[in-house]
Amino acid sequence: MEAQTKKRWRDKGRLAFLLAVALFLSLNLVSAYDNVTTDTKPVITFNYGEKVLVTFAELKDLTEVVWELESRPDIGVQYSSQYEFEPVSHLPNQEYVLTITAEDLIGNARTTEYHFLENASYMDFWVKAPAPDFASFPDIGVSVSSPFNATIESEEAATCEWGFSPSAYPYQFDDIVGNNYLLEAVNGLGGTAGSEISVKKDDNAGNNNILTSIYLFCEEISQRPHFGTVQLGWDDTPPSIDVEAVPNPVVDFIDPTTKLSIKSNDPSYCTYNLTPFPSMNKAQLDTYVAEMENTIDYTEVTLLPLEERFSPHAYVYDITCVNWAGLEYSTSYTVTVDLAKEFAITLIEPEGYTNTEPVVFSIETQVTTDECRYGETEPTTPFVKTGPRSYTTSLALLEEGTHSYLVECSGSIGTQSSTLSFVVDRTPPTKPVLKPVDPTCSLEELQVEAISTDEVSGVAYYNYSVKNGTKIVVDWTTTTGEQITESVSMSEGEKYSWHVKAVDNAGNMGLESTVTVMATAQNASDCDTTPPIGGITSNATETSIAVSVTCRDVGTGCSDIYNYNFVPNGSCNASMLGKYAEQPLTFLTEGTFCWTVYDRNENTHSGSASLSLVPKNESSLPEECLNGVMDGNETDIDCGGGECEGCEVDETCILDDDCKSKMCPEGICTEAACNDGLLNGDESDIDCGGSECEPCDNGMNCTEHPDCFSEFCSPETETCDDSSCTDGFKGGDETDIDCGGSCPACGEGNKCIENSDCDTGNCAMGVCDVDRDADSDGDGMPDYWEEENSFDPNDPSDALEDADDDGFTNLDEYYEGTDPWDPEDHPYVEKSSLLALILLILGILLFVGGIGFLVADKYMGLTASKTKPMPAPRLLSGERGKPPVLQARPQQKPSKEQEIRQALARLRQAKKQEKRKTLLSTFGKEEEGKAATVKKVLGGKAAAGKKGETAKTKEKPLKKLDEGKTEEFIQLGDKFEKEDVGKDVFQELEEMTKEKEPAKKGKTPEKKTEKKEPPKKKETKSVGKKKVIKKKKAVKKLPSSAIDKDVFNQLQVETGHSTKKLESVVKKKEVNTKDMLKIFAQTTSKKQIDANVFETLLSELMKRGKVNKLEISDMVLEFYEQDLLTKKDVHSILTRLKLI
């Protein structure tokens, strides 16, 4: 039953296949001519006699590229008796294979392959540029430079895309003009479509013009699809060629030809004497090849008269080759035709030696011949002719040894004979004798010497391998030398075996030899083959000589014993046993001392020295060390021997102490080396440190930092160590002790190399310094000076302020180097000269202004108009030590940045006023009848009290709230009460602190002597650029006794300022909000100021006429906005001072 089912399935499969082919033909999807289609997206239909499930479908081209398919119905989803398959994209012209696997309802499966050829009518594409002028519609474009622009052209205009695969076209062209498609900056850095293409340069070393293929898919206006392919590359060198003619010279009279061949590193088009090589067309770049050849016939020479026929004839060929880039290379080549009357006979096989049976005997004649014969004495036996000039035969049962045959060949140009010899060797070489390096004394290299002999043909080479047990470490390979070395990674203690066979020149291979070695490290004791270095030290007196034998060995170390002897006369043989622990040896007479020292691998070193009873002169060199003769114990002229100075390099020595360098390895003083295992020269430890050797590792001895790799020699241990940033020493890359370099930055005054070594960011002349040029706010006073004097380095307005009220701006004080907080320390000014200068300048200005006014009034009628007041002259600072001079301030248009800052200031001021208005309105609700009326008063005038009412204290004109802000002033209350408010500030403070002591009575404080100046009717004070005129009014001053030190101590505790600075503020003629903020600068929002202290201080300042009520209100509100006062504090202060 199962067999019948399978047969039924096979019948149905055959029927389905036939139906599928019939359907293809009926639908005209595949032409009737050998399955060829012109449809670029053919629909292929498979019909089955029953419902099947297609589980696999794949469409491939001949290059194994898989093309995506659409299936109806979907593959693996639905059973159907008919399936249609269609490529997702258009197919280029080539052969395709559609593979289908389907299974029926019971699981029987079949795979079917269908082959068809795509032969659509596609238009041609070619490279317009880069391309040589002589090229005709090339599909190859090679530029002579990179990057380059490429233009591709087609037969008809179309819309095109391109890619690097014939099935994907993701890229657009940079430009399309008709039927020209532009790619810009091919092989460039990016930004263009062309830069997506990376082409390799022809490097003339194997990458011969590697081209990048560009695949195009285009559609005409009618949406007819087209495919095309071009290739791009670049090459800036002409081709390089090799020319050869075989044979050359041409000697064969019967076959007077040669084969001329060219090998180029580029696909090229070549000619010889303008004749192209076969199958090449210069205009068709696809015909260019890298190798070409042609046969040249010289039969014409054989037809020359007899006297010319056999004389040499030279043929010179001019060869020119051009590559795809259009670059040419030319050279010449000569072929000589020298037809021979005589010719040579050459042995081809065997090549000198053979072991075959029978022996193949083959020869070749130089020219075409008719026949050849051979024999041991006479050439009677003919060869078998295998070519015009080739012959062969077989020789059986030849014995070992040399065989010689007389060979004779004849042809149209005559007969020639020659004796040819070869050697038969069938005996293999002897089994090799192996001499390995054992132990290996290396874990990376194996060595062995192989010795074999072959008496007949000689040993040609050795075959060998290396094993580690059964594991093959080195597989069989050959070498021609007897010394064999292999690099092998070995494990210490494991065994490795050599396997070696010898092969002779006849090809016979001998028996295998094997030897095993033990893998040992280089420092193993068995690997020490270097002898120790022995010597003696001696100390002679008038009665005895004390001798000690010395030994030094860098390998296994010296043995504990040595041999020695001492003889007064005659030869010395070291036959006595000595121990280093029982030294020194003492001898009472002069004589010769000899010794032999041993290392632990039994390597030895021997020596001898003459000993004399000569006392050592401690104060000066003995006379024999200065006489220019080698005498006494000297090892060379006036040196060595323990008495004289050490010998120089290349002078004779016995012991290391005989040399200044302490190096006497072979009886000659040598320079101290950094790899001799000794502490010598100026080394700080063995083979390291000093001026010549590499720095020492951590833990080794040192004398200075450069002796160490870590660049730190610990002064405590005098050994190299890692420097740390907390060890209290300068080391590593530190520029000073524990700072700079990779450590934290150094402070002011420490050494430095660059700015980053300093926490100030300024390394000046190798020392950290503050950045004396930094001026963040650009006010002419550097940041460091402002910070030292409690100014704000980000506020440019403080440059024109007068902190100590001595008549000089802070900027003047900076330039003159005076204390801006000490009114007694101010720039020096010759007042008489200054007054005269001021009067002179004012006179000039009045005169010039008067003339200008008259002229303007006469011609422009400006008398009635408002004139802009002339800016007042300002006092400019001069150089240090020189008086300042007066100069008119130039009117400058504010910069854009200043305008923005002013606008932002106005906005901030408006917000501040609104905030204050809201705050004061809440106070009004709490205490009706004392509401504060807030309004803006422009023009800078202060609100006065009731007309005719006399104030008890002098009030200053209202000042601008901030420089650069809108001239807005706040007037609190329509009427201010004029009675004195608050107690004396110092009385209040004394009551609060409860620390006031009874003031001493009866003492009158000394008054400071002030320099008298001429009385002035009016007193002026400069505010910004505008002068405010104040009428002179007497102010009652409090006695100095009121200024109690305890009171200032309380202020000092509250504010954190010195008494001196507090006094300077209180004594100022005018006090503003900024002064008050500076006093309480150290009080933050986390520690608000004492409202009572602040209230009494304001009360006293108002009482002394330092501030008016509006300024007090401004101060209180400013302190509130700075979070230094609470809302409750503000209400309390303003209420108690009767401001609301």
Task: Specify the pLDDT at position 1077.
Answer: 66
Query: Is the domain of 420 the same as that of 439?
Result: no
Confidence of residue 346 (pLDDT cuts 50, 70, 90): very high
Task: Specify the pLDDT at position 34.
Answer: 46
Can you give the CATH number for the domain in which 40 is found?
Answer: 2.60.40.1220
Domain-terminating residue out of 846, 876, 892: 892
Q: 113: which strand partners?
A: 99
Per the model's pLDDT, the better-predicted residue between 158 and 931 turns out to be: 158
Per the model's pLDDT, the better-predicted residue between 1037 and 1127 turns out to be: 1127
- Number of compact structural domains in the chain: 9
Does the residue 718 lie in any domain? no
Per the model's pLDDT, the better-predicted residue between 575 and 341 turns out to be: 575
Does the residue 1037 lie in any domain? yes
Task: Give CA separation, 160 vs 8, 89, 184, 217, 1049, in Å.
Answer: 52, 14, 15, 6, 91
Q: CA 754 to CA 766: how far, in whole Å?
A: 8
Q: How much of the chain exceeds pLDDT 70, in percent?
A: 73
**Which two three-digit tokens encode residue 41?**
């997206």
Per the model's pLDDT, the better-predicted residue between 185 and 18 turns out to be: 185
Tokens 């003047």 -> residue: 812
- SS3 label, residue 20: helix
Q: What is the mean pLDDT of the chain?
A: 78
- Is residue 429's pLDDT more than 90? yes
Query: Is the domain of 226 the same as that of 256?
Result: no
- SS3 label, residue 398: coil
Task: Specify the pLDDT at position 971.
Answer: 38
Mean pLDDT of 601-626: 75
Does the residue 1062 lie in any domain? yes
Mean pLDDT of 937-955: 35
**Dihedrals phi, psi of 924, to nearest 5 degrees:** -65, -35
Can you give the CATH number for the domain in which 500 is found?
Answer: 2.60.40.10
**Which two three-digit tokens encode residue 221?**
């206006």
Query: Is the domain of 612 the same as that of 653?
Result: yes
Q: CA 639 to CA 644: how far, in whole Å?
A: 5
pLDDT in tens, 535-567: 888 888 888 889 999 888 877 888 999 999 999
Does the residue 283 lie in any domain? yes
Tokens 């042995």 -> residue: 347
Cβ count near 1066 (within 10 Å): 19
Task: Give CA separation, 941 vs 140, 947, 1029, in Å.
Answer: 91, 15, 12
**Dihedrals phi, psi of 781, to nearest 5 degrees:** -105, 120
Task: Specify the pLDDT at position 1054.
Answer: 63
Q: Which domain holds residue 384?
A: 345-424
Confidence of residue 667 (pLDDT cuts 50, 70, 90): confident
Residues 6+ apart with CB under 8 A from 932: 920, 921, 923, 924, 972, 973, 1134, 1139, 1140
Mean pLDDT of 288-309: 91
Task: Specify the pLDDT at position 542.
Answer: 82
Mean pLDDT of 422-447: 93
Mean pLDDT of 401-425: 93
Query: What one-letter code names the amino acid at 367?
Result: V
Question: Between the CA atoms of 429, 435, 440 and 441, what dihedral angle is there, to the nearest 10 degrees?
Answer: -140
Query: Is the domain of 365 the same as that of 384?
Result: yes
**Dihedrals phi, psi of 194, to nearest 5 degrees:** -65, -30
- Is residue 739's pLDDT more than 70? yes
Task: Specify the pLDDT at position 462.
Answer: 96
Task: Give CA separation, 976 vs 471, 949, 1127, in Å.
Answer: 113, 11, 22
**Which two three-digit tokens encode residue 380?**
């009677």
List strand residue ranges (DSSP E) for 390-431, in order. 390-395, 401-411, 414-424
Question: Long-range CB contacts (< 8 A, 24+ apart) of 519-523?
Answer: 519/439, 519/440, 519/443, 519/490, 519/491, 519/492, 519/493, 519/494, 519/495, 520/439, 520/440, 520/441, 520/442, 520/443, 520/492, 520/493, 521/441, 521/442, 521/443, 521/492, 522/441, 522/442, 522/443, 523/555
Mean pLDDT of 675-695: 83
Does the residue 852 lie in any domain? yes
- Is residue 894's pLDDT more than 60? no
For the chain, the distance separating the N- and C-terminal CA atoms, rounded to the nearest angstrom, is 119
Task: Specify the pLDDT at position 911.
Answer: 62
Domain-terminating residue out of 282, 313, 337: 337
Q: CA 740 to CA 855: how far, in whole Å?
A: 70
Q: CA 1028 to CA 967: how far, in whole Å?
A: 14
**Which two three-digit tokens encode residue 128?**
């317009």
Handedness of CA 770, 776, 777, 779 (dihedral sign): positive
Q: CA 224 to CA 1034: how far, in whole Å?
A: 108
Nearest to 260 by CA among 227, 288, 283, 294: 294
Per the model's pLDDT, the better-predicted residue between 614 and 216 turns out to be: 216
Least confident of 350-354, 679-683, 711-715: 679-683
Task: Specify the pLDDT at position 895.
Answer: 53
Q: CA 485 to CA 126: how far, in whole Å?
A: 59
Mean pLDDT of 725-749: 87
- Is residue 912's pLDDT more than 70? no
- Is residue 913's pLDDT more than 60? yes
Residue 912 parent element (H or E):
helix 896-926
Query: Is the domain of 499 the same as that of 567?
Result: no
Query: What one-letter code names the amino acid at 883?
Result: P
- SS3 label, residue 880: coil
- Is residue 508's pLDDT more than 90? yes
Alpha helices (H) along 1015-1066: 1045-1055, 1059-1066
Does the residue 416 lie in any domain? yes
Query: Is the domain of 368 the same as that of 457?
Result: no
Residues 6+ apart with CB under 8 A from 658: 635, 639, 640, 641, 642, 646, 647, 664, 669
Can you give the CATH number for the domain in which 254 is found?
Answer: 2.60.40
SS3 content of the chain, % helix, strand, coil (to 5): 20, 30, 50
Q: CA 12 to CA 446: how far, in whole Å?
A: 72
Mean pLDDT of 384-412: 94
**Dihedrals phi, psi of 534, to nearest 5 degrees:** -110, 160
Cβ count near 409 (within 10 Å): 27
Handedness of CA 499, 500, 506, 508 (dihedral sign): negative
- Is residue 982's pLDDT more than 50? no
pLDDT in tens, 82-106: 999 999 888 888 899 999 999 998 8
Q: CA 661 to CA 634: how far, in whole Å?
A: 16
Residue 898 parent element (H or E):
helix 896-926
Confidence of residue 447 (pLDDT cuts 50, 70, 90): very high
Q: How many helices (H) and strands (E) does the chain have?
A: 14, 51
Does the residue 1117 lie in any domain? yes
Question: Is the Cβ–Cβ distance between 984 and 1066 less than 8 Å?
Answer: no
Query: Is the domain of 437 the same as that of 328?
Result: no
Query: Is the domain of 843 the same as that of 966?
Result: no
Confidence of residue 7 (pLDDT cuts 50, 70, 90): very low
Domain-terminating residue out of 61, 88, 118: 118
To the nearest 10 degrees (0 to 180), the angle between helices 1091-1103 and 1109-1121 is 160
Task: Specify the pLDDT at position 519.
Answer: 92
Query: Is the domain of 922 the same as that of 884?
Result: no
Mean pLDDT of 599-615: 84
Mean pLDDT of 850-854: 64
Query: Is the domain of 1065 the same as that of 1118?
Result: yes
Task: Give CA separation, 351 vs 481, 505, 796, 978, in Å.
Answer: 22, 10, 104, 138
Residues 6+ apart with CB under 8 A from 425: 353, 354, 355, 400, 454, 456, 457, 504, 505, 506, 508
Task: Specify the pLDDT at position 316.
Answer: 97
Task: Specify the pLDDT at position 1064.
Answer: 66
Query: Is the domain of 488 the same as that of 634?
Result: no
- Is residue 451's pLDDT more than 80? yes
Q: CA 770 to CA 760: how far, in whole Å?
A: 5
Tokens 């010898």 -> residue: 502
List strand residue ranges (DSSP E) for 480-525, in order. 483-487, 495-504, 513-518
- DSSP code per residue over 723-764: --TTSSS--TT-SBTTBSTTSPPB-TTSB-SSGGGBTTS-EE
Query: Is the domain of 451 the same as that of 578?
Result: no
Does the residue 135 lie in any domain? yes
DSSP 324: T
List b or e across 501-535, with b for residues whose CB sees 16 or more CB atoms inside 10 angstroms. Answer: bbbbbbbbebeebebebebbeeebeebbeebbbbb
**Which two three-digit tokens encode residue 841?**
């300048």
Residue 185 parent element (H or E):
strand 180-186
